[in-house]
Amino acid sequence: MSDGTLYDKVWENHKVTELPNGQDQLFIGLHLVHEVTSPQAFGMLRERDLNVAYPERTFATTDHIVPTQEEKRKRPLEDEKSEEMLDALETNTGENGITFFDFESGKQGITHVVAPELGLSQPGMTVACGDSHTATHGAFGSIGVGIGTSQIRDVLATGCIAADKQKVRRIEIEGSLGEGVYAKDIILKIIQELGVDGGVGHVYEYGGPAIEELDMEGRLAICNMSIEGGARAGYINPDETTYEYLRGREYVPEGEAFDELVEYWESIKSDADAEYDDVVTINVDDIDPLVTWGINPGQVIEVSEPIPAPSDLPTQTEQEAAEQALDHMELSPGESMLGYDVDVAFLGTCTNGRVSDFEVAADIIEGQQVPDDVQALAVPGSETVRKECEARGIDQTFIEAGWEWRRAGCSMCLAMNDDKLGADEVCASSSNRNFIGRQGDKDGRTVLMSPAMVAAAAVEGEVTDARRFLDDGPSDVLAADDVEEVAD
């Protein structure tokens, strides 16, 4: 049993009581709502004649179904089902006094991008949302959990969830990232090492020098993909980087009130002698950019590494999963992912749709041109991100390089709007899931990677090592042609 960790302290602060079934009733300090998983919950509330208990701690935005093409965002939306969902959210938030960051607010975007940038997500909070990527908010040192619709009903009606306390695994990231290797590569490395179900029953505490060096946007990308490793929540202890990020944001108090909050934030950090259920150490000094080769985020390798042969994998089920992945991806063992043809480059999402992600990508595509047979989509994670990129001219770099510069939404991460991957297409994607059918057609193929790698893939029309485009990148990075010879 863990003791003295941030998780223990925040849990204790929010624990209301123990329920008869042995679970804890846990108060949720920030409830985020979007259009897809909430309408049924509001419906259940109406059936029981219950009100929203804490509307002032509940914030809504629309992200999953929204069109990202400007001309398609006029109301009513062309797609009737999408319009119905958006309309339901407007009604539900309006009737219950919940703040809704709609199109007209100028703040609409993906829940996990909007709440951090507005300063809603803060250290020492519990955050819940009907979305598995709620772990994102753990980057501030909060406990963020994804919940189902019945649990959304619970939070709406009582401000609470019924929850079992989990074990805490400390993941110590040692070393320092090389040029052209990013937070996304760290989390892909963690999932590679610990597996897609390694975190079941655990909360991940990420720490160590390589984590402390990251800015908030990098930390958000790491915590975001906790669920891809099976951990429902993941967090990073708050520090000066966290406080500096929060200072001056819209929902963060100023002056003395801020200083008082910092005292609280300091108090909930894991103690130096905290006890963990488990500690894992990973060194990232020598990692290269990672890319997935399969159909789950654990099927991931460094970009010039050979794809494993199913027969080399330890268990029969892993072998079968690898066979299925190779078949779907039309790949063979021993090849690397370098040179894998790409039809769509997709930059955005709650993992990598923040200003720094577009900045990194812009550096790579500046002065380059996306080939005619590649569709390159830049989809800011929020309207705030979009406007900041536009104010700095980053959008122009994308447009000049042949990208489509879109409005905010989840877009091709899960293809609930018009942005869908076609049957025979391959997508180089900065998103978080490469599940079959996730990005559109069931025969579409996804390769997960960092924003820099997506940018480079867009320009080359194939998977490549983005460090080739960096002035100060390592000099020994191979081009695709060289590697094919090595692989033979």
Partner 1 sequence: MSGENHITEVSGTGVPIPGDDIDTDQILPARFMKEVTFDNMADYLFYDARRDDDGEFNDHPLNEFEGANIAVVNKNFGCGSSREHAPQAMMRWGVDGVVGETFAEIFADNCKSLGIPAATADKETVTALQEWIREHPDGDVEIDVEDETVTYGETTVDVDIDSSMQEALVDGIWDTTALMYSNMSKVEATVDGLPYVESDE
Site for partner 1, residues 340 to 369, rule: CB under 8 A:
none
CB atoms within 10 A of CB 78: 12
The β-bridge partners of 173 are: 282
Which of 78, 193, 197, 271 forms a contact with partner 1 (CB under 8 A)? 197
Which of 16, 279, 309, 399 forms a contact with partner 1 (CB under 8 A)? 16
- Contacting partner 1 within 19-48 (CB under 8 A): 19-23, 25, 27, 29, 36-37, 39-40, 43-44, 48
CA within 13 Å, CB half, 409? 27
Q: Give 22 or 393: the residue with its C-beta nearer to partner 1.
A: 22
Which of 167, 178, 261, 422 forms a contact with partner 1 (CB under 8 A)? 261
Any alpha helices (H) in 313-392, and if so which ranges?
316-329, 349-352, 355-365, 383-391
User: Which region, judged by CB under 8 A, interacts with partner 1, from 57-65, 205-213, 238-246, 364-372?
Assistant: 57-65
Structure tokens at 12: 């204790």
CA within 13 Å, CB half, 157? 18
Please report whether residue 76 would count as binding partner 1 according to CB under 8 A: no
Q: In angstroms, give the least distance from the CB of 238 to partner 1.
A: 13
- Contacting partner 1 within 275-304 (CB under 8 A): 296
Please report whether residue 61 would count as binding partner 1 according to CB under 8 A: no
Task: Report the C-alpha gap between 388 and 464 in whole angstroms.
Answer: 29
Q: Give 442 or 481: the residue with its C-beta nearer to partner 1.
A: 442
Please report whether residue 479 would count as binding partner 1 according to CB under 8 A: no
Q: In angstroms, give the least distance from the CB of 73 to partner 1.
A: 17
Please report whether residue 446 would count as binding partner 1 according to CB under 8 A: no
Helix axes 149-158, 39-47, angle to 10 degrees: 50
User: Which region, judged by CB under 8 A, interacts with partner 1, from 176-184, 326-334, 394-402, 408-416?
Assistant: 408-416
Please report whether residue 431 would count as binding partner 1 according to CB under 8 A: no
Q: In angstroms, give the least distance from the CB of 365 to partner 1.
A: 29
Long-range CB pairs of 214-219, under 8 A, 24+ apart, other chains included: 214/183, 214/241, 215/241, 215/245, 215/356, 216/116, 216/139, 216/140, 216/241, 216/242, 216/245, 217/183, 217/354, 217/355, 217/356, 217/357, 218/182, 218/183, 218/356, 219/139, 219/183
Burial of 277 (0-12, 13-18, 19+ CB in 10 A): middle
Residue 410 region, left (φ>0) first, then alpha (ψ -120 to 50), else beta?
alpha
- Give the x-and-dash track for 81-100 against partner 1 (CB under 8 A): xx-xx--x------------
Please report whether residue 56 would count as binding partner 1 according to CB under 8 A: yes
Task: Report the C-alpha gap between 191 and 350 in whole angstroms.
Answer: 18
CB atoms within 10 A of CB 75: 11
Q: In angstroms, give the least distance from the CB of 145 to partner 1.
A: 8
Distances in Å between the alpha carbon of 75 and those of 6, 89, 232, 247? 44, 14, 36, 36
Please report whether residue 313 would count as binding partner 1 according to CB under 8 A: no
Q: In angstroms, give the least distance from the CB of 28 to partner 1.
A: 10
Please report whether residue 408 would count as binding partner 1 according to CB under 8 A: no
User: Which region, judged by CB under 8 A, interacts with partner 1, from 96-104, 117-125, 383-391, 480-488?
Assistant: 117-125
Please report whether residue 196 would count as binding partner 1 according to CB under 8 A: yes
Q: Between β-strands 202-207 and 167-174, what pairing exists: parallel, antiparallel or unpaired?
A: parallel
Dihedral sign for Cα atoms in the order 314, 317, 323, 328: negative
3-state secondary structure of 392: coil
The site that binds partner 1 (CB under 8 A) totals a number of residues, namely: 82
Please report whether residue 386 would count as binding partner 1 according to CB under 8 A: no
Q: In angstroms, give the least distance from the CB of 62 to partner 1.
A: 13
- Contacting partner 1 within 153-182 (CB under 8 A): 153-154, 157-162, 164
Q: In angstroms, give the least distance from the CB of 40 to partner 1.
A: 6
- Contacting partner 1 within 211-250 (CB under 8 A): 227, 230, 232
Please report whether residue 1 would count as binding partner 1 according to CB under 8 A: no
Task: Report the C-alpha gap between 450 and 455 in whole angstroms.
Answer: 9
Please report whether residue 475 would count as binding partner 1 according to CB under 8 A: no
- Please tell me what DSSP assigns to residue 78: S
Please report whether residue 13 would count as binding partner 1 according to CB under 8 A: yes
Please report whether residue 436 would count as binding partner 1 according to CB under 8 A: yes
3-state secondary structure of 173: strand
Task: Report the C-alpha gap between 371 and 363 in whole angstroms.
Answer: 18
